[in-house]
Amino acid sequence: MVESTTLSFMAEQVPNLLLKALGQRIRELRTDQGYSQEAFADKCGVHRTFMGTIERGESNLSFQNILKVATTLGVSLSTLFEHLEEKAEISRQVPAPKSQAGRTESKRVAKDVSSVRH
């Protein structure tokens, strides 16, 4: 049961946490460069309301849109994605195990998540 809960969390919650972290990263880079959200959206070729959903982590971006954002910001993809796992605080969000059998699985999942960061 714990294993199922942990895997379910990983499948459902981690992508949402990462999308929110990506949105925060885009907002951070955009504001550092002095763009308003509307001007930045125009320069990326997307509607301002769509940019708002991106920055709030509500939109699952296509690779093409990720590339548009990075290009408009003048940053590499690796810079855009830099430290997303830490910002999403994934390892803190993994549910605690409730049984001895689950502890081993939870440690393995946390280790797997940690290894993705590096």
pTM equals 0.68
**pLDDT of 22-40, one tens digit each?**
999 999 999 999 999 999 9
Q: Residue 117: pLDDT above 70?
A: no
Domains identified in the chain and CATH numbers: 2-117 (1.10.260.40)
pLDDT at position 13, please? 79
Residue 106 CB coordination number (10 Å)? 20
Residue 23 burial (CB < 10 Å; 0-12/13-18/19+)?
Answer: buried
- Cα–Cα distance measured from residue 96 to residue 30, given in angstroms and rounded to the nearest whole number: 36
What would the pLDDT profile of 10-25 be if each residue is shown by its tens digit?
567 788 889 999 999 9
pLDDT tens by residue, 36-88: 999 999 999 999 999 999 999 999 999 999 999 999 999 999 999 998 888 88
DSSP string, 1-61: -HHHHHHHHHHHHHHHHHHHHHHHHHHHHHHHTT--HHHHHHHHTS-HHHHHHHHTT-S--
Q: What is the pLDDT of residue 47?
A: 95
